[in-house]
A and B are shown apart, each in its own frame.
Chain A
Amino acid sequence: VLTQSPATLSLSPGERATLSCRASQSVTFYLAWYQQKPGQAPRLLIYDASNRATGIPARFSASGSGTDFTLTISSLEPEDSAVYYCQQSTNWPAHTFGGGTKVEIK
């Protein structure tokens, strides 16, 4: 089970956002992060726990291993308003997703 916190994060442009994803048991580094905007499919941000996907801005970074993972947006832009999901594949081919964190830009 992946638990994401907080459920909602409300910050101003330029501020730093820190999102958490905690696994009920170790997933080593088999974790990904996604951004989803209303009416769109999830977009892969981070693969293998800490690698930015193609075309993802450098303000997005991620770290962690085992059970605790963090997605950081270093300086929020208005277009970063979205729901962010983590996903694990430690029991490949099975995949599970976290419940999401909504990031609101004030």
Chain B
Amino acid sequence: QVQLQESGPGLVKPSQTLSVTCNVSGGSFNNGNYYWNWIRQFPGKGLEWIGHIYYTGSTAYNPSLKSRVTISIDTSKRQFSLRLDSVTAADTAVYFCAREDCSAGSCYVGFDTWGQGTLVTVSS
């Protein structure tokens, strides 16, 4: 059974870079059946999709964040990472990694597996 586990810094200063990593254990990681996503949840509870990466390294980002976001993948370590530059207090959120199943040739609508989330607070 696949499990996702985020790890992050907890606290980041304004204007600095936020980096969070998701470790994937169990299940398939690089067989081409899944997209690996980052999603965040603000303190007011709204959810925002940040972007995804395929095992080949192909990425897609939320247009509202595209200029500040980089998602990368290391298949040998079974992990993928999020980098968000020039953070402000508005980036304070719980950051989740999540899996999107595309094993049927097209993607099912919905993220079927999530990590437990890691809270990142942006504050000086």
A residues whose Cβ falls under 8 Å from a Cβ of B: 29-32, 34, 40-44, 46-49, 53-54, 83, 85, 87-89, 92-97, 99-100
Contacts and interface: CB of A to CB of B under 8 A. Distances in A.
13 contacts: A30-B109, A41-B114, A41-B116, A42-B47, A47-B108, A48-B109, A48-B110, A85-B47, A87-B111, A92-B107, A94-B60, A99-B46, A100-B45
Interface string B60-96: 1011000000000000000000000000000000001
Contact of B110 (A53, A83, A100): A53
B106 to A, nearest CB: 9
Interface in B29-54: 35, 37, 45-49, 52
Nearest to B115: A41
B96 A41 contact: yes
Which bracket fits the contact residues of B?
A: 20 to 34
A97 B109 contact: no
Chief secondary structure at chain A's binding surface: loop
Q: Which 8 residue pairs across A and B have the least CB separation, nearest first?
A: A32-B110, A47-B110, A41-B114, A97-B47, A93-B60, A95-B49, A89-B109, A44-B110
Nearest to B45: A100
A95 B109 CA distance: 9
A7 to B, nearest CB: 11
A49 B48 contact: no
Contacts of A54: 112
Nearest to B112: A44
